[in-house]
Amino acid sequence: KKHVLQTVCALEAVVLRSFGPDGGQVLFIRDTAEAMLSRSGSRILTALRLEHPLARMVVECVWKHSTVTGDGSKTFVLLLASLLRMIHTTVCKDPTVSHTCNSRKAAEAALARRLADELLAFVLEDLDDLITVGVVPYGCCVSWEDFTAKTQSPVHTNNHHVQKLLASFFHTRLGYTHCDFISNLACELFASWKFKNDTPALSLQFVNDNFPALHTPVSGFPIDCSRLIEGQIIHRDFATPCPQTENQPVKAVIFTGYLESELLRAGEVLEVGCGEQVMEENSSMKQSIVQFSAWAERSLEWVIADLQSLGVSVLLFAVKQSPAVLALATQAEMCVVECISEDELSLFAQLSGSMPVSDFWMIQPEHVASLAFCRPVLLGAHRYVHVAFHDLEEKVMVKPCSLVICAPGEGQTDQYACAFRDAIRMLLTAWEPLGMTAHTASKRTCSNASPFQQRVLEPGCVIPAGGTFELLLHHTLRQHSRSRSVSDNTNMSLPAVSQLLAKALLCVPQRIYSYKHKTNPVQNCSTKECPLQDSKLSMHYCGQAHMSSNFFLIQYDLLFRQQFTNTFQSNDHTITHFCTMLPLKHR
């Protein structure tokens, strides 16, 4: 359908100006006069007010893809538009299509549907192996230990490669000026949260799940002021005076509810009336209320005394407490922090090893967390609670820390925070082992499977950025098309499908090198393949210095193929499910 191509091309025009290393940033002004600055394709597309249902559907698919991979949104749209143009050209030039108006439209729709099915079958059956044989040999594998490789010179360690990987990512998101600083800060963050005896995927997943509680945006300062702070920042201020606890142990308890018993809970109604009988009932009720209030006050005093006996000096609450609780806590020289978010309380419980208290009558030693300190910290215009934990070297992690992200404006801090979050997702996808389809799994179990086929799902594989992936895959697909044309004369559609996908892939490097005169990295970067060491492929890059160190992931993910196929199965939008054909690599 031509209107499908027009709709996707309109989305392509939106992201083109921010695509590639020389792309610009997009400034959005909300109705509230707030500004949003971004180069993220998913943020740009989701910020659009789209009325066309097909456009909204494509943007939703882009958002789902970016939510998992952290990257590739603009490449997603470019490749989809390129595929649609190739399909449209192929259908229009096909000599078998009838020239009658009605029959021609039906024939074009049928041919487009057939090409879509053949493309999907080609990806499911052959694309994995083609990438393994034609692209992976030009890459290398980086390990999680590279983040902490500080004993050698950075130039001679894979840590240099990891930093350049992140620098390439942040370059496309934040610009050239601060990409090195941000990438180094990200490496320090990931190294601090490196779990012992765990896979990189689990460590990165922990950081990704807890990122809202692990970072603090600070407006009004340059980006160079961003840093890591030991321990955890709780984004609330003290509700009671904070006593000096520098030279004594600090013990804290988490409460999920109210510390003082309530007479009336939410939704309950107290009825007050008049009349002789009602007056007697009200008198009895008044006496009961007084008795309950006295009992509640004594109970609160007992709870505070119990906490004092356990040495507790910091009370962390998920909800706001009554004035009586604050008064007794102040009298007992206890710090109170109210209305802490669920994410922050969950992170605190995991780092301290304590359990939240749901019943204040059952406070046990396992509910008490031991802290190195608990004190206020001023970050920008806000004062927060800063807690640090005792040495966890013997437990599960190296050094818990919080990320402080500084930027001149609120919109920029949000932009940097989103870039950090997407970088985490990108690395998580890189090191996360991918599942195999039943067809691919059966091929892997064959005794004659090549070493490349057996290593296709090895995590941490990266390749130089700048369109290298698309160029290598384009060359591989063309070779595959020629070989199938010679060896298989029964199915002539497979070479055509391979050629179609190969031509569509060229849109990415063409766009990258269209902004200014640049040289193809494949031409300038000669590679020398080394023997396999420890079942890993090692490569030496002998081109320009900046090209040899700029890496991007070739970790392809077909997780959404079936989901996209189901989404785009409607008759009017059949052609749009070509987006499922492509490896969901990172741009």
* Selected residue with higher pLDDT from 129 and 516: 129
Break the chain down into helix, strand, coil percent, rounded to 5: 50, 15, 35
DSSP H or E stretch at residue 375: strand 368-379
pLDDT at 494 over 70: no
Parse the chain into domains and list their residue ranges: 232-399
Tokens encoding 87: 């399909």
- Confidence at residue 539, expressed as pLDDT on a 0 to 100 scale: 35
For 265-297, letters b (16+ CB in 10 Å) and e give eeeeeeeeeeeeeeeeeeeeeeeeeeeeeeebe
Name which of 147-151, 217-221, 336-340 the model is least confident about.
147-151
Per-residue pLDDT reduced to its tens digit, 1-25: 678 889 999 999 999 988 887 788 8
Are the C-beta atoms of residues 26 and 39 closer than 8 Å to each other? yes
Task: Give mean pLDDT, residues 209-236.
Answer: 95
Per-residue pLDDT reduced to its tens digit, 426-440: 888 877 665 444 444
- Confidence at residue 232, expressed as pLDDT on a 0 to 100 scale: 96
pLDDT at 547 over 50: no
- Confidence at residue 147, expressed as pLDDT on a 0 to 100 scale: 61
Per-residue pLDDT reduced to its tens digit, 94-113: 766 655 556 777 777 788 78
Q: For 232-399, which CATH superfamily applies?
A: GroEL (3.50.7.10)
Per-residue pLDDT reduced to its tens digit, 44-91: 999 898 999 999 999 999 999 888 888 889 999 999 999 989 888 888
pLDDT at 221 over 90: yes
Residue closest to 500 by CA, chosen among 93, 90, 128, 129: 90
pTM: 0.77
- Confidence at residue 410, expressed as pLDDT on a 0 to 100 scale: 84
pLDDT at 529 over 60: no
Tell me how crowded residue 366 is: count the other CB atoms within 10 A of its CB: 9
Residue closest to 166 by CA, chosen among 150, 188, 187: 187
Confidence of residue 271 (pLDDT cuts 50, 70, 90): low
| 305/501 Cα distance (integer angstroms) | 73
Cα Rg of the chain, angstroms: 30
- Confidence at residue 583, expressed as pLDDT on a 0 to 100 scale: 33
* Selected residue with higher pLDDT from 275 and 215: 215
* Selected residue with higher pLDDT from 396 and 303: 303
Percent of the chain with pLDDT strictly greater than 70: 69
pLDDT at 340 over 60: yes
| 429/212 Cα distance (integer angstroms) | 19
Name which of 137-146, 326-335, 542-551 the model is least confident about.
542-551
pLDDT at 146 over 60: yes
Tokens encoding 27: 């400034």
- Confidence at residue 122, expressed as pLDDT on a 0 to 100 scale: 86
* Residue 255: C-alpha distances to residues 51, 342, 513 (Å): 46, 11, 57
- Confidence at residue 387, expressed as pLDDT on a 0 to 100 scale: 94
CA dihedral (110, 112, 116, 121) in degrees, to 10, reads: 60
pLDDT at 534 over 60: no
Out of 167-176, 326-335, 397-406, give the one with best mean pLDDT.
326-335
- Confidence at residue 90, expressed as pLDDT on a 0 to 100 scale: 83
* Selected residue with higher pLDDT from 560 and 428: 428
Task: Give mean pLDDT, residues 275-292.
Answer: 55
Helical residues (DSSP H) of 144-266, grouped into ranges? 158-174, 179-192, 200-209, 211-214
Confidence of residue 284 (pLDDT cuts 50, 70, 90): low
Please spell the DSSP secondary structure of 481-515, one letter per residue: HHHHHHH--S-THHHHHHHHHHHHHTHHHHHHTTS
pLDDT at 316 over 90: yes
- Confidence at residue 247, expressed as pLDDT on a 0 to 100 scale: 62
pLDDT at 587 over 70: no
| 162/157 Cα distance (integer angstroms) | 9
- Confidence at residue 109, expressed as pLDDT on a 0 to 100 scale: 78
pLDDT at 338 over 90: yes
- Confidence at residue 475, expressed as pLDDT on a 0 to 100 scale: 92
Task: Using DSSP, state whether 264 is helix, strand or coil.
Answer: coil
pLDDT at 450 over 50: no
Task: Using DSSP, state whether 413 is helix, strand or coil.
Answer: helix
